[in-house]
């Protein structure tokens, strides 16, 4: 057996009966030769990690728009935290950690600039609506054509609440996404001075603890302990009650009408104006039925700062360009009279 086949055999022997084994994957849309070293899900993880869409996540908003403080989460650090939590759950339940990681790393590839407010604008402008999980699938299947396994694509699609994942690994990611953003958004909101730890619902603090690390650990344990040797990954009923209550509190106090959202009016205008601009640009050269799709793909792939730069370039007037400070620096260096005058003084 080659290394991949040994890894596949190890999965069959060691993983839970409910885990997704790479040897029995439903495969890819386009058939490929197998790798001698990596399982199919390990290859999916690597393809996502090396994709352009993954690299752009570092400059996409999580909650706080274009933060200057390096310690606020971005869409990339959110993705890494989701991956860590999901892998912990998968490892504890003897699920396929490689599939879990691939899904987690790819779940937000289709997210817009400016977080969910950007998603909301494109949802208004796009016929049939826009949803980042669906766009993430489009990124991996069409725009970058990563040819991922069907299990990975399903997990990316179903990470959003309201979808039913086909694998337990995807269920783990779906829960990890909620656990991650609730906890790191609380920490970021406290850093921003929007809330204090003591503002959180008292019964939630009592159940999970007021400490960030302890609260996160408690939520993960609630999932693992309630899912051991079961054909479903789910938090305990009591744990899910308090998690949901904490999430609803965050929507009421941070995600909607809080100081964190003050700049969203401007961000929405950037997305909307760019959409109209690019749609008009394409009218002379593109079939009408394709324009909306092309523009949406283009804008949704932008980082925050790239979208702002394109807006400034097209809508903010520029002054006449004159010589820069650097030009004057070299002029001084070439002027020997400068040294003479200095000596006279």
| C-alpha closest to that of 99 among 32, 143, 149, 140 | 149
pTM passes above 0.85: yes
pLDDT digits (tens, 9 = 90+) for 174-220: 999 999 999 999 999 999 899 999 999 999 999 999 899 999 999 99
Asked whether 286 and 280 are in contact (CB, 8 A), the reply is no
Contact 269, 120 (CB under 8 A): no
Under the banding of pLDDT at 50, 70 and 90, the label for residue 328 is low
The domain ranges of the chain are: 3-18+33-261, 264-315
pLDDT of residue 318: 83
pLDDT for residue 256? 82
Q: What is the pLDDT of residues 65-103, one digit of tens each?
A: 866 678 899 999 999 999 999 999 999 999 999 999 999
Phi and psi at 235, nearest 5°, equal -80, 155
With vertex at residue 80, the alpha carbon angle to CA 231 and CA 301, rounded to the nearest 5 degrees, is 105
The CA distance from 157 to 109, in Å, is 11
Q: What is the mean pLDDT of the segment spanning 114-121? A: 95
Q: Would you identify the CATH topology of the domain 3-18+33-261?
A: Hypothetical protein af1432 (1.10.3210)
Contact predicate 159/140, CB 8 Å: no
Helical segments of 251-303, H only: 264-282, 288-300
**Lowest mean pLDDT, pick from 64-73, 150-159, 228-237, 309-318:** 64-73
**Averaged pLDDT, 164-168:** 98
Tokens of 173: 């990611």
């Amino acid at each position: 057996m080659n290394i991949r086949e040994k890894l596949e055999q190890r999965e069959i022997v060691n993983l839970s009966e409910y885990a997704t084994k790479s040897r029995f994957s439903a495969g890819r849309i386009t058939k490929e030769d197998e790798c001698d070293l990596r399982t199919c899900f390990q290859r999916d993880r690597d393809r996502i990690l090396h994709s352009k869409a993954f690299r752009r996540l570092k400059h996409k908003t999580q909650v706080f728009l274009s933060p200057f403080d390096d310690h606020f989460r971005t869409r990339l650090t959110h993705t890494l935290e989701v991956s860590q939590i999901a892998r912990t759950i998968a490892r504890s339940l003897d699920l396929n950690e490689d599939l879990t990681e691939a899904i987690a790393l790819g779940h937000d590839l289709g997210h817009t600039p400016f977080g969910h407010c950007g998603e909301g604008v494109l949802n208004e402008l796009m016929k049939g609506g826009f949803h980042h999980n669906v766009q993430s699938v489009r990124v991996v299947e069409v725009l970058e054509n990563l040819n991922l396994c069907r299990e990975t694509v399903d997990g990316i699609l179903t990470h959003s609440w309201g979808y039913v994942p086909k694998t337990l690994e995807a269920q783990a990611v779906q829960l990890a996404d909620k656990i991650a953003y609730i906890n790191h958004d609380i920490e970021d909101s406290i850093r921003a001075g929007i809330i204090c730890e003591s503002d959180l619902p008292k019964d939630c603090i009592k159940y999970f603890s007021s400490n960030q690390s302890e609260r996160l650990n408690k939520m993960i344990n609630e999932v693992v302990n309630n899912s051991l040797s079961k054909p479903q990954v789910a938090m305990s009923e009591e744990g899910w009650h308090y998690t949901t209550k904490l999430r609803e509190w965050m929507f009421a106090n941070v995600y909607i009408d809080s100081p964190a959202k003050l700049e969203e009016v401007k961000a929405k205008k950037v997305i909307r104006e760019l959409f109209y601009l690019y749609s008009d640009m394409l009218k002379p050269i593109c079939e009408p039925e394709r324009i909306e799709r092309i523009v949406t793909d283009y804008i949704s792939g932008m980082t925050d700062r790239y979208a702002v730069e394109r807006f400034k370039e097209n809508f903010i007037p520029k002054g006449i360009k004159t010589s820069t400070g650097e030009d004057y620096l070299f002029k001084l260096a070439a002027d020997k009279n400068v040294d003479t005058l200095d000596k006279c003084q």
